[in-house]
Amino acid sequence: MKKILLTIIITFSFIQAEEWIYFNNMTNYEWGVGMDFSVSRISPDGEISETVLEDVSYTDISNDGSRLLYLEYEQFEGPSWVGYEVVGFSIYNTETMETISSITGIQPSTPKFTHDEDVVLYLEGSQYSPTQTLYKYSFSDSSSTMLSDSLSIGFDNMTMSPDGQQVVFFKVTHDENTEDDFIDVDVIVSDIQSGESTLLTTIPYFDIASNAGGMFNNNPYWSDDGFIYLSFLAGNCSELFAIHSTMGYVMQLTDNPCSGIGAYCVTSILRTHETNLDKFIYTTCGDNYGHWIYDIESGESSYLGSFNPEGGVSIALDQTWSPDRSKVAFSEWLYGGMIAVPGYMRVYDTVTESIDTVGNDLNTDDPESYYAASPIKWITDSLAGDVNGDGILNISDIVIIVNMILSGESNSSADYNGDGNVNVVDVVAIVQAILGN
């Protein structure tokens, strides 16, 4: 009987960890006033959507989804209108429902987590400011330290290394003696803890006599293969480049024909939290306008398509990949005349080469239409008992836990019932859960 039971468990039974895509859901829009958001998550198939935290929009989320970082606002009144200004940021713990807040009196934008859970990076300034300033904030002593000022507004200046201990940022340099319109950009890497910075390389970036719209929203991707990937102009065309993250040499990866940037087109790699990708999505303008997937190993690009709506423009924003890297979700902003709103979130399956829209059709009168604002992140819920971390609870985990018990070892993931002990009770509970599933 025991052999039959064991065979059933091995052959047929397992529990799969749940996967979610986190996003900011626009719940209300009022012309001239602004948008309201809540933090939400949706299953990758679009069947289930639920609110995580109401009345805020997060700027970053921890890898396990347990900690949300979001901006704090204060209301102020003008002569005939009401406005809001950023005064700080907070971290919300989804498990304990506790919130810790920064000091007030700062005006941060897009704060991000680092490898240290007590340290956050943030910028002051925006694309509408002449420059940006990069700071780190420590929750342990409520201190704010400047890492660099006068940063280029054309790049994401908070792209972190795969280990989260370094950050790359960009400074525009002007040659006063030049007679042409080209601008160079210094690529600088800073150690977040010590604040020490190193000039990695200088790249020729942009012809300021051309369409300056191409300078905005450039999202570098720092991969664990040792390269920082980004797009910038080569002549009058936007191409992909790779910068070695320690040696600083630059390689051009694509040679796409194009006829210029064009209006309302942002060429960039879509922003991502992942660092171990073998592929990533980027956008181009001109003759080959649209979304492309670049394969790092082969160096080849494949076309996904253009997603401009009728009478509007789609500006690509974020990408996030499934744990097995077979699917990628990507988001957008939709521009139409004087109105700009979060648009669709789509999921591309690299195996079937199909694209599905996640959520309902857009409807400005229906908050359930899933206006999926950035950032987005694909997260697998932690699974009690999944001691080998493969996202599946099965016989392999049972064998490991039994060996732990026999050897006197302990592991928090093995404590299935959460009583603080790892013993045969946990094994029995896991078997029952698997059979019940």
Mean pLDDT of 333-360: 85
Across the range 197-219, mean pLDDT stands at 65
Q: What is the CA radius of gyration of the chain?
A: 24
Which pLDDT band holds residue 399 (cuts at 50, 70, 90)?
Answer: confident
Please work out, in degrees rounded to the nearest 5, the angle formed at the alpha carbon of residue 12 by the alpha carbons of 8 and 14.
Answer: 110
Confidence class for position 209, pLDDT limits 50, 70, 90: very low
80-104: average pLDDT: 85
Q: 292-313 pLDDT, tens per residue?
A: 999 999 999 999 998 888 777 8
Strands (E) located in 139-225 = 143-151, 159-160, 166-173, 182-191, 197-207, 221-222
Rounded Cα–Cα distance for residues 321 and 277 (Å): 8
pLDDT of residue 330: 95
- The answer on pLDDT for 160 being more than 60 is yes
| CATH superfamily ID and name for 2-11+385-436 | Dockerin domain (1.10.1330.10)
Confidence of residue 215 (pLDDT cuts 50, 70, 90): very low
Question: What residue spans define the domains of the chain?
Answer: 2-11+385-436
Query: What percent of the chain lies above the pLDDT cut of 70?
Result: 79
Return the bridge partners of 301, or none.
294
Looking at residue 63, its pLDDT comes to 83
Local confidence band at 26 (pLDDT 50, 70, 90 cut-offs): confident
CA distance to 6, 70, 432, per residue, from 161 (Å)? 45, 22, 42
The yes-or-no verdict on residue 271 having pLDDT over 90 is yes
Taking only the tens place, the pLDDT of each residue in 321-342 is: 998 899 999 999 888 767 778 8
What amino acid occupies position 291? H
- Residues 71 and 24 sit within 8 Å (Cβ to Cβ): no
Full-model pTM:
0.82
Closest by CA to 25, choosing from 11, 40, 35, 10, is: 40
End-to-end CA distance of the chain: 20
Confidence at residue 13, expressed as pLDDT on a 0 to 100 scale: 57
Q: Which of 63-67, 222-226, 232-236, 395-399 has the highest average model confidence (pLDDT)?
A: 222-226
What pLDDT was estimated at residue 401?
82
pLDDT greater than 60 at residue 240: yes
- Please say whether the beta carbons of 67 and 61 come within 8 A: yes
Percent of the chain past pLDDT 90, that is, above it, reads 35
- Start-end of H helices in 390-423: 395-407
pLDDT digits (tens, 9 = 90+) for 105-133: 788 888 999 998 889 999 987 555 667 89
67 Cβ partners below 8 Å, 6+ apart?
A: 61, 91, 92, 93, 94, 113, 117
pLDDT at residue 279, as a whole number: 96
Q: Would the pLDDT of 181 be above 90?
A: no
pLDDT in tens, 53-84: 999 999 999 888 889 999 988 877 777 677 77
